[in-house]
Amino acid sequence: MSFQVFYKIKSSQYGEGILLEKYGENFGIYAAQESKDPDGTVYKKWAFPQNRDKKPIDKAIPMGVKLGNQNEAIETLKYFLEQLNVPEEEIPF
């Protein structure tokens, strides 16, 4: 692992946030939580995905989204940032 940055969500009372991580040449963002320990260790949140029969598989995976290489990650994050800058009356949700 060559790069990790944690952003703590200000309104979270449980130390929840988003972890930006680089693994090899690819970036991803993950649900994470900062521990209450003095060292402030950050832990990814993990989940057991379901198979076709809606039963959880045996292996947990981190709750996150792969963004691709640096250029792809920047393009993706810029796209979502632009979506947040639309006038409120045009927000589709």
- Which letter does DSSP use for residue 90 in this model? G
Return the pLDDT at 85: 82
Return the pLDDT at 83: 85
Measured CA to CA, the distance from residue 36 to residue 48 in angstroms comes to 25
Return the pLDDT at 93: 65
Residue at token pair 């979502």: 80
Beta bridge partners of 5: 20
Return the pLDDT at 52: 92
The better pLDDT of the pair 88, 1 is held by 88
Q: Residues near 59 by Cβ (< 8 Å), separated by ≥ 6? A: 48
The better pLDDT of the pair 91, 18 is held by 18
Measured CA to CA, the distance from residue 48 to residue 34 in angstroms comes to 21
